[in-house]
Every structure is written in C-alpha cells, then in structure tokens.
Chains A and B, each alone.
Chain A
Amino acid sequence: MATVAFGSIKSQIETTAPPRGLWCDFPLGRPLGVPSDPEFQHRVLAKAFELLDSPEPIFAEYDVSIIDDENEVMACPMPPRHDPDLHPAIDEAKGLRPAYERSVAQYGNRVGAGRVVQADEITDAIDAFVKIAEGTPWKEAGVPGIPARVSQDIRGYYETAALALSDHAPPAWAGTRWFLDHTEAGRVLMNARQAMADAGEPNPIWFYMAPGDR
C-alpha cells in the first residue's frame, strides 16, 4: 500500500519523513483545512494524490496557509439569566440546552457531551467544578469521571451549542476561546483547574482540562 501522510506541524512530519508527506499549514484539528468547503478540500486532496506520481520519497508543502489570528471569538447571543437562585454557570448551561439540541439535530453529536457525561448531567458536572473552584478537594467534589474527560464533555457541549447560535463556520479555536474566556462555565473550569494546581494535585489530573498553553 502506498501512503500519503498529511502533517499539521512541519518539524514533525519532516523528522518522521514518511514516504509521501504533505505539510498543510492549517490549524490543529483541521487537516483538510476548511469545514463545509468541498472545493477547498478537493484542492488539498488533489495535491496529496499528486504525490503518488513521485518515483521516490517526497515531502511537499501545501501552498495555502490558514493562520489563526489568536483573537477571533465566536459571537454567540447568550441566553438571559433565568433562575437567579442557580450558580450563573449552571443557569447558563441550562439555557444553552435548546441550542445544543438544535445543533445535534443538524450535525449529529460528534464532539458534544456523552463521553462520560450525558447532556442531562452537564449541570451536575459543572456544579462539581464550582465546588472545586470554591475550595473543595477534587476527589470530594463529585466529579463524575476523570476531570480532563469531564471537561471535554462540558467544552463539547458548549461548542456544539455555539454552532447553533452562529450563522457561519467559525474559524479554528474561535469556539474554544469563546468557551474559556466568555462563558461562566469556562471561567468555572479554569478556576477549578487553577485550584487543583494550587492544591498540589498531580499535573496530569488538572493540566489536560484545558489546552496546554493555558
């Protein structure tokens, strides 16, 4: 079998030196570049298949780069505060549920809740992180699984809901920045992560709750 390996990080695919390697300077998580753009994806595939004509190992660079501007954030109209007796993050998550369901109906549940926490349990999971952020040791807070995996379900729930609140395909990372920096649940998660770090918990327990540059 002949292989064509796409690479997102130039140094890595250069070092590994596969028989046919194509470095595409696209954001991590988007090896074909642009979602919902068949023409763009076909151009990338055409370049990949072109490498099969080489009579010897070959490394190529795709001639279009997609650079994350570091600042773009999804613009999502957030639900108004509904129940002032609830923690703001829990009220927020409940308010996003209709958007989440619309998104799942339209696209499927590809990255949303369900790894360890179902959509019905998202607010309980957020509540556990609220407790941690307020000082409860994480093992006593009722986190319903490995914190990193639970965090993924919460982030996935929010990013999936956001797709239904936006009218265009978001740039890479715009959904993550929105979740971490512009939602109550994102703030709770980051505060809980910091509390676990400050409490001296082992790095793998809290570090992977958020992208590694946070």
Chain B
Amino acid sequence: MADSDIKALTADLDGVKFDETAFTVPVPLTEAKVAIVTSASLHHPDDEDFSPMDTGYRILRSEPRDYVMGHWSPNFDATGFALDINTVFPIDRLDELAAQGVIGSVAEEHLAYAGNQFDLSAIRLDSGPSGAKFLKEQDVDVVLLTPV
C-alpha cells in the first residue's frame, strides 16, 4: 500500500470544469481577514457527525480547538491530523501570522465539508454558496482551501 497507489485510483476521476474563473483581487494581506475551508469533514465533538455523502458543512469555531475528523473515506493518512491539527487545519499558524502582522486577522469561524463526494451538484447549488455567504457575512477576505 502506498500513497501513490491511492492517488492513482482517483487521478483520472472527472473533475469539475468551470467556464469562467471567479477571480477576485483581495485587500492587502496585512489587512485581510483569513478563514479556512477544509474538506476534511472536521467538526466539534458536540456537533452532528457527517453522514455518508453528506453535502452540508459544519462551522468550526476558533475555540475550542477540539476538532474531530468525521471523514468516511479510508483513503488518507489520519495520524498527521491526530498529532497536529495544523497538518490539515492550520489555525495555530494563522494566529501566529496575525500576531506578526503578516495577515490582518483570523476569522472566528471556519467551515468544513466532506471531501468524499460522488455528486457535487448539491454543494455547487446549495451548501457551497451558503458557506460562501456565511463567510462573506463575517467580512472574510481570504479563504484557504485545504483538502482531505
């Protein structure tokens, strides 16, 4: 078993192709509020776990950092996240960058989706725009998308 073998299983899956690229120029990074959106199916222990093919999202508060991984896929290494949440969700690193003035601030709430999807239509039409609206209402300027 090897990482390359797992990647090879999915490398040829049809990806989503967009007619247009939604390109936006952000405010200067030193003024930007930064949020993380991950497809690692993270959630707080008391929040609803992800169900199979769950197309919704969970809100990840900056505190407490008690995130658990609710991913249904067996096809990734989980020990990195088990040791250090920043391997997937670099919230401590963003705090350090904000303290150094490299970024403006860190959002108080972030989002997690489930990455193991077979049909993306519900995310594209519903929970994706809903999550984006949620972040915009927090005045988020920059989003880091981290995959699992």
Proximity bits, B82-103, A CB within 8 Å = 1, else 0? 1111111010111011000011
How far is A152 from B116 in the complex, measured between Cα atoms in Å?
15
Q: Is B22 in contact with chain A by the CB < 8 A criterion?
A: yes
Task: Please judge, given known A-B contacts A17-B18, A159-B79, whether A176 and B144 are in contact too, CB under 8 Å.
Answer: no
Interface residues in A99-132 by Cβ distance below 8 A to B read 103, 107-112, 114-115
Interchain nearest-CB distance for A120 vs B (Å) = 17
Task: Please judge, given known A-B contacts A2-B24, A159-B82, whether A31 and B7 are in contact too, CB under 8 Å.
Answer: no
CB-based contact B80/A19 at 8 Å = no
Residue of chain A at shortest CB distance from B103 = A49
Proximity bits, B23-65, A CB within 8 Å = 1, else 0? 1111001000000000000000100010010000000000000
CB-based contact A213/B6 at 8 Å = yes
Interface footprint category on A: 35 or more
How far is A4 from B141 in the complex, measured between Cα atoms in Å?
11
Q: How many residues of B contact A (CB 8 A)?
A: 68
CB-based contact A57/B21 at 8 Å = yes
Residue of A33, A35, A209 with most chain B CB atoms under a 10 A cut-off:
A35
Proximity bits, A29-69, B CB within 8 Å = 1, else 0? 11111111010011001001100100111000000000110
How far is A32 from B92 in the complex, measured between Cα atoms in Å?
12
How far is A152 from B92 in the complex, measured between Cα atoms in Å?
27
Q: Which residues of A contact B119 (CB under 8 A)?
A: none
Task: Please judge, given known A-B contacts A173-B2, A176-B1, whether A9 and B87 are in contact too, CB under 8 Å.
Answer: no
How far is A11 from B74 in the complex, measured between Cα atoms in Å?
21
Interchain nearest-CB distance for B61 vs A (Å) = 15
Residue of chain B at shortest CB distance from A146 = B52
CB-based contact A16/B15 at 8 Å = yes
CB-based contact A173/B3 at 8 Å = yes
Q: Is B140 in contact with chain A by the CB < 8 A criterion?
A: yes
CB-based contact B80/A6 at 8 Å = no
Task: Please judge, given known A-B contacts A173-B77, A176-B1, A213-B5, whether A45 and B15 are in contact too, CB under 8 Å.
Answer: no
Proximity bits, A72-103, B CB within 8 Å = 1, else 0? 00000000000000000000000000000001
CB-based contact B75/A28 at 8 Å = yes
Which residue of A1, A32, A49 is within 8 Å of B24 (Cβ)?
A1
4 closest Cβ pairs, A-B complex: A29-B76, A68-B3, A15-B15, A2-B26
Interface residues of A (CB under 8 A from B): 1-12, 15-19, 27-36, 38, 41-42, 45, 48-49, 52, 55-57, 67-68, 70, 103, 107-112, 114-115, 146, 148-149, 151-152, 155-156, 159-160, 162-163, 169-170, 172-177, 180, 208-214
Interface residues of B (CB under 8 A from A): 1-7, 9-13, 15-18, 21-26, 29, 45, 49, 52, 66-70, 72-88, 90, 92-94, 96-97, 102-103, 132, 135-136, 140-148
